[in-house]
Amino acid sequence: MTVADVPVEPLHRRLGVTDDELEAIRDRLGGRDPNDLELAMFSVMWSEHCSYKSSRPLLRTLPTEGRDVVAGPGENAGVIAIGEGLAVAFKIESHNHPSAIEPYQGAATGVGGILRDIFTMGARPIAVLDALRFGDPADPRTRHLVDGVVRGVGGYGNCVGVPTVGGELVFDPSYAGNPLVNVMAIGLLREEQLTLASAPGPGNLVVLYGSTTGRDGIGGASVLASATFTGDDPSKRPSIQVGDPFAEKLLIEASLELIERGLVEGLQDLGAGGITCATSETADRAGTGILVDLDAVPRREPGLEPFEVMISESQERMCAAVRPDRWPAVQEVCRRWGLPVAVIGRVTADGDITVVEGGLDANGSPAKGAREIARIPARALTSDAIVHARLATPPTHRRGAPAPGIPAAVSDRLPERGMDPGAVLLALLGSANLSSRRAVFQQYDSTVGADTVAGPGRGAAVLRVKGTRKALVATTDANQSVGAVDPWLGAALSVAEATRNVSITGARPLGVTNCLNYGDPTLPDAFWQLTEGVRGLSDACRALGLPVTGGNVSLYNESLGGRIAPTPEIGVVGLLDDISTLVGPAFVQAGDTIVLVGDSTPGLVGSAYAELAGVTSDDSPPDLDLGREEAIQSFVREAIARGLVASAQDISGGGLAIALAECSIWADLGATVRLAYFGSPAVGLFGESPSRLVVTARPAHAAALAMLARKHGLPVESIGSVGGDRLVIEATSATAMGAAEERGGRVTDTLEVPIRELRNVWEHGLGRALGWES
C-alpha cells in the first residue's frame, strides 16, 4: 500500500486531517501544499494523542510549580527531588483503544510505553500500577478483555523485572465498549543522571537503537487513539503495536548504562508517532533541526514506504543525540546488550525535520544524488501544532444544587426498606468492585526488585529506597461514579482520595500525575465534562498544595454503547522520610481505641450502596470541602509523625462499614463500634462522604489524638475498640426526629458479622463475579 492509493476521499481526510487543519498545515509550510509523506507526518503529530490540540489550553491552567520539582509537564515524566541527591520520576498513561481491540498486546505495550518514559529520564523503573476499568463482569466480552489485559500487564511487567505494586480494577457499565487501561510507572534516579528529551548541538549524531522498524503500529496515534471507537474493527488491527518485554529489558539496561557513562546528550523513546515524533520533539526542545537519513533506519522487513518508516510505532526503540567522539562507546554498549544500533541522522541548526533518501556523506550532508523527500519546521509538528478552541456546553438536565443542611426527608433508611445492615455489608464486601483484587494481582510479580514493603491489595503501595531510611508511597484513584453526575466533583474527589491514601501512611504527597479519560472533544457536552474535570483537578491540587507534573489525555472514549463516565485517573507519589514510622490500614492490637475523624454528610449518589439499593431522584453526591480535606491529611501525617497512630484507614468505597470490615479482615481482629448517625443509617454506615478516616490508637494515646484533631479543626469521636472475632456495629439515630421517633423510640440498627464470614465473601467476590471460581 502507498499513501497515494486513495480512491475518492482526499488523502488528508483519510489520515484524519480536517480541511481547516490542512489549511493550517499550508500556513506552517509557508503557503505550499505538504507532499504525501509530510502529510502523513503531520497527521500523526497533529493527532489528538500527540498534539493535545483540544486539551492544551485547559492543561495550561493546572498548577505545575513545586519546591522540589526537577522536571514537569512537557518532559517524558515528572521528576521530583526526594533528598540525598535522589529523585523520583513518575507518570501515568492510557492505552485504552489498543486494549479494546487486542487486550493482551494493548495492555502489554501500555506497560512498555510508560516504562520507556521513565528510563528515558535516566531513572530505573521500580514500580508499575495499573488502573483498569471494564463493563459488566458477567458479560463474556468483559471477561475476555479482563483476562487478556491482566495477562498482558503481567506478561510484560513480570518479564522486564519491574514489580506491579498497585492499581485499580473497576467495573462500570459505561466502559462496556471502551475499557480503560491506564498504567503508571515510577522510577528512581540520582539527580545528576537526569536526562532530557532534547537533541542539542548541531553536528551531533542522531542514533536509533533497540528493535528494528516494521509495519506494526502504523498510525496508532491518529487512527486508534484519536477517533471514536466503533468496536472490534479488524481493519484497525495493523495499528496495534506488538510488545517484546525481553527487548525492553535490554533497552532499559543499555539506556541506563549509556546515561550513567555520560554517552548521550539527550534521549527520547519512540512511542506514538515513531521517528517523526522523537525527532521533531527533541529538535524543537533544543531549538535545533534534524536531518533524517531514511536509508539508515534498521528495518525488520523489506519494501517499507518512507511514510511507514517515519510513522511506524514499532515498540522498544530509543533515539539519542550522541557526540561523534562517543559513537564507538555507544555502539559497544548496544552491541553488548544485543541491540541493533544505527546513526540515522544529524542534528542541524536549521530548525527543520528534513528527510532524505540516498544517504548522507561523511560530513553528514545529503550524499551526492540523495533526494530530499520532506522538510517541515520541527516546531510546526510539535509546539506550534494546531490548537482547537472547542465548545463546552453543560448538559441540559443537570442535578440541582444540593440544599444546605440535612435534607428534611431522607428516603434511604435501612429498616424501612427491610434491609439487614449485615446483609448489606456482606453484599457490598463481596461485590465486584469492593471485594479483594487478589485473584488479579497474584498474576503479577509484585516483589521483584526487593523493595516492596506493601504491595497490592491494602491501600497505597510502599517501596523502600535502598541505602536510605526513606520510602515512596504510591497510589492511583479515580471516581467515575460521582464524575458521571458532577465532573468537577468527580475529579476533585479523585485527587482527594488518592492523596488521602498516601497521607494515611504518614507520607507527604509530592505531586500528581493524571490520565484524563473523556469523550469526543468535538461534542460540546463531552468537552464540558473535560473542562470541568480539569477545573476540579486544578482546584484540588491547589488546595492541597500539589504540583501536577505530567500526564496524558485520552479523548474519544466513546463506543456504540455510549460515552464512558468521565474518568480522571490520578496517580500520586508520596515520600516517607523515615520508614520506621510507616502506618498501615489494618487494625494492630486488641484493646486499641477506634477513632472516627471527619463528618459524615448526606448524599448517596455515586456510592456503592446506591448501586446496590438505588437512591431517590432528588439525592446528590456528598459535598467535598477541599479545606477540610487538606486539614485531615495534615492532621493524620502529624499524628503519625508523633507516634500517636496504630493504624489509619480512609473511608471511601462502601463507606465506614466497609472501611472497618477491611481493617478487621486484614488484621484478623474484630471490633465493637457504636455509631451515632444523623438522618439515615445508610448514610452513616455506607455513605461515602469524603475527608474521613478511621484511626486506631493505644488507649493511652486516644486523648492526645483527639486533641490534635481538634487543633486541626476536625470533628473527632471515639467510636469503639478493637478486639474479638466479629465486627459489631450498633448504629443509633442521634436525632430525636424522623421515623424512629414516630414509632415511639430510637432505632438501633445492629450489624454483627464474624470476620470469617467477612473474609469469605471479600476474598472470593471478584473471582466469582468474573466466573474464575464458583
Q: Is the dihedral of CA 410, 413, 418, 424 positive or negative?
A: positive
CA distances from 748 to 421, 671, 716, 737 (A): 11, 18, 22, 14
The reply on whether position 242 binds other proteins by CB under 8 A is no
- Which parts of 141-170 interact with other proteins (CB under 8 A)? 151, 154-155, 158-161
On the CB side of 333, how many CA atoms lie within 13 Å of its CA? 22
The reply on whether position 445 binds other proteins by CB under 8 A is yes
The reply on whether position 239 binds other proteins by CB under 8 A is no
DSSP symbols for 146-204: HHHHHHHHHHHHHHHT--EEEEEEEE-GGGTTS-EEEEEEEEEEEGGG---S---STTP
**Across the beta sheet with 86-94, what order do the strands follow?**
69-71, 78-83, 86-94, 180-190, 124-134, 164-171
**Across the beta sheet with 567-576, what order do the strands follow?**
452-454, 461-464, 471-477, 567-576, 508-517, 548-554
Among 35, 411, 442, 760, binds other proteins (CB under 8 A): 442
Stretch that binds other proteins, among 189-197, 203-211, 440-448, 510-518 (CB under 8 A): 440-448
Among 45, 79, 184, 250, binds other proteins (CB under 8 A): 250
Cell of 52: 493535545
| Closest to other proteins by CB, 14 or 151 | 151
- Active-site residue among 49, 388, 712, 764? 49
Residue 147: CB minimum distance to other proteins, A: 9
Please, what is the end-to-end C-alpha distance for the chain in angstroms? 50
- Which parts of 555-594 interact with other proteins (CB under 8 A)? 579
At a CB cut-off of 8 Å and minimum separation 6, what does 75 contact? 121, 196, 197, 550
Residue 194: CB minimum distance to other proteins, A: 21
Cα angle for residues 690, 694, 696 (degrees, 5° grid): 160
Size of the site for other proteins (CB under 8 A): 30
| Closest to other proteins by CB, 161 or 407 | 161
Phi, psi of 35 (to 5 degrees): -80, 180
The reply on whether position 443 binds other proteins by CB under 8 A is yes
Among 249, 500, 637, 764, binds other proteins (CB under 8 A): 249
| Closest to other proteins by CB, 303 or 467 | 467
Do the beta carbons of residue 269 and residue 117 sit within 8 Å? yes
Spatial separation of the C-alpha atoms in residues 30 and 375, rounded to whole Å:
12
The reply on whether position 21 binds other proteins by CB under 8 A is no
The reply on whether position 692 binds other proteins by CB under 8 A is no
Query: Is 97 an active-site residue?
Result: no
Residue 505: CB minimum distance to other proteins, A: 14
| Closest to other proteins by CB, 108 or 427 | 108
Residue with cell 526488585: 449
| Closest to other proteins by CB, 579 or 727 | 579
| Closest to other proteins by CB, 335 or 399 | 335
Among 453, 485, 641, 728, binds other proteins (CB under 8 A): 453
Residue 249: CB minimum distance to other proteins, A: 6
- Provide the residue type at 340 as one letter: P
47 Cα distance to chain centroid: 21
Residue 254: CB minimum distance to other proteins, A: 10
The reply on whether position 314 binds other proteins by CB under 8 A is no
Do the beta carbons of residue 95 and residue 156 sit within 8 Å? no
| Closest to other proteins by CB, 127 or 565 | 127
What is the number of residues in the chain?
A: 774
The reply on whether position 411 binds other proteins by CB under 8 A is no
Stretch that binds other proteins, among 102-110, 231-239, 243-251, 692-700 (CB under 8 A): 243-251
Going along 284-396, which residue ranges are E strands?
289-293, 317-322, 341-348, 352-357, 371-377
User: 503-538 b/e with 16+ CB inside 10 Å = b?
Assistant: bbbbbbbbbbbbbbbbbbbbbeebbbbbbbbbbbbb
Strand partners, 166: 129
| Closest to other proteins by CB, 256 or 695 | 256
Stretch that binds other proteins, among 451-459, 498-506, 703-711, 753-761 (CB under 8 A): 451-459
Strand partners, 646: none
Stretch that binds other proteins, among 227-235, 439-447, 598-606, 688-696 (CB under 8 A): 439-447
Among 389, 408, 450, 736, binds other proteins (CB under 8 A): 450
The reply on whether position 468 binds other proteins by CB under 8 A is no
| Closest to other proteins by CB, 151 or 299 | 151
CA distances from 115 to 168, 203, 572 (A): 18, 30, 17
- H-type alpha helices, 15-73: 19-28, 36-45, 48-51, 56-59
Stretch that binds other proteins, among 33-41, 238-246, 505-513, 639-647 (CB under 8 A): 238-246
Residue 462: CB minimum distance to other proteins, A: 10
> What is the greatest pairwise CA distance in the chain?
100
Residue 258's closest CA among 246, 245, 272, 269?
A: 269
Query: Is 49 an active-site residue?
Result: yes
Residue 161: CB minimum distance to other proteins, A: 3
Spatial separation of the C-alpha atoms in residues 11 and 4, rounded to whole Å:
8
Among 102, 168, 244, 630, binds other proteins (CB under 8 A): 244
3-class SS at 522? Answer: coil
The reply on whether position 364 binds other proteins by CB under 8 A is no
What is the radius of gyration, based on Cα positions, of the chain? 27
Among 78, 113, 167, 245, binds other proteins (CB under 8 A): 245
Binding mask 317-346 for other proteins (x = CB under 8 A): --------------------xx--------
Residue 458: CB minimum distance to other proteins, A: 12
| Closest to other proteins by CB, 486 or 763 | 763
The reply on whether position 486 binds other proteins by CB under 8 A is no
Q: Is the dihedral of CA 261, 262, 268, 270 positive or negative?
A: negative
- H-type alpha helices, 553-625: 608-613
Among 246, 403, 589, 771, binds other proteins (CB under 8 A): 246
- Active-site residue among 95, 701, 712, 764? 95
Among 464, 508, 542, 698, binds other proteins (CB under 8 A): 464
| Closest to other proteins by CB, 161 or 351 | 161
The reply on whether position 774 binds other proteins by CB under 8 A is no
Residue 573's closest CA among 139, 118, 159?
A: 118
Cell of 354: 528534513
The reply on whether position 446 binds other proteins by CB under 8 A is yes
Residue 337: CB minimum distance to other proteins, A: 7
Q: Which residues bind other proteins (CB under 8 A)?
A: 151, 154-155, 158-161, 244-246, 249-250, 337-338, 441-453, 464, 466, 579
Catalytic residues, by residue number, are: 49, 95
